[in-house]
Amino acid sequence: MASLEQLLAEKPNLKFIFTGGKGGVGKTVSAAAIAYKSTLQGKKTLLASLNPVHSLASVFNQDLTGGTIKRVEGTSHLYAIEVDAKDIVERYRENIGKRVREFLKWSDIPVDAGPFIDIAVTNPAFEESAMFDKMMDIMLQQGSEYDRIVFDTAAVANAVRLIGLSKIYGLWLGRMIESRKEALSMRVQLSFRKEKVMEEVKKDPLMADLISMNERFLKVKNVLIDSHITAFFFVTLPLALPIAVVKRFITMVKAYDIPVGGVIVNGILSRETVEASQGEEYLKNKYEEQIQYMRTIKKDLGDLVRAYIPLYPREVVGLEMIKKVSEDMFNYVPSFWNEL
């Protein structure tokens, strides 16, 4: 089993790192610690939160809000952004409105475009689609500005829909382009002034939009499925539900051809802490319970475990604690792990 440090050393071109898992398992802390480590290696790093409920500002205890890239105070190469997709949502609304009106101008009777636009922008997947678009913006626009970009994704349900768009988006675009080609071809065939219509078809704004979106998507997709450039890390606690979620999540991500980087086990109660408690009953019971779950992790996910994070006596808030987590992620191995 390669540790996180060994894995990153083996993949010097790894540029895009994602962290995901069940809510409350430590995704943001893990992403922050990996990003901080990258800066220690001299890499100019961007930490981007794709979570609808951001917590980067809380974890660093700094003002990182506002949807713009800000330098993390106390570091020289670390920047962060709590991604806000409102501008994309508004852009979608304007584009959809423009294209719906474009479609309806050929109808023989007046049709109000408003209800069609409202239906399109209230689609349940609209927010994820906007966030996916924003993620593509960051990968394409910031990819050349930063040596590494670490994405903190939302809890599993949102993240799966977000990642799933990497495949569904491509299928949808392909089908839309073919449909538009068929519609334009039909219009030429049915027209009396074919040459004039052909000229109009060549300048079709909807087809131009679709082709542009497809080209942009293909660039991102090629990066997303390249294991030398992209890796998805799953964060879990040594508890039944988070372990089960990670196992399901890994299967889902593989189905979308996203490379799996490994598993990070957070919140480990050390044997030394229990021994120092001089037989405190609660800690002893929690430790015994944890050992059972760690056996499950080793049996089912052992080849993927890259790092461990101890259970700290205080909350992980502020740069000093992020530094501590980063150091442990790249050095700490529980003393009981090899005995399991």
Q: Per-block average pLDDT, block size 10, for the chain (340 residues)? A: 88 93 92 96 94 90 94 95 81 69 61 63 65 86 95 69 63 73 74 70 74 80 89 95 92 84 96 87 94 97 95 96 96 93
So what's the pLDDT on residue 94? 75
**Strand ranges in the chain using DSSP code E only, listed in sequence order:** 16-20, 45-49, 70-71, 78-82, 148-152, 230-236, 260-268, 305-310
Indicate the pairing of strand 230-236 with strand 16-20: parallel
Contact partners, residue 208, CB within 8 Å, separation at least 6: none
DSSP H/E element including 231: strand 230-236
Give the neighbor-by-neighbor strand order of the sheet with 70-71.
Answer: 70-71, 78-82, 45-49, 148-152, 16-20, 230-236, 260-268, 305-310
Q: Alpha-carbon Rg of the chain, whole angstroms?
A: 24
**Cβ pair 264, 306 in contact under 8 A:** yes
CA-CA distance, 38 to 326, in Å (whole number)? 10
Q: Which residue carries 């068929």 as its tokens? A: 182
Structure tokens at 285: 């019971």
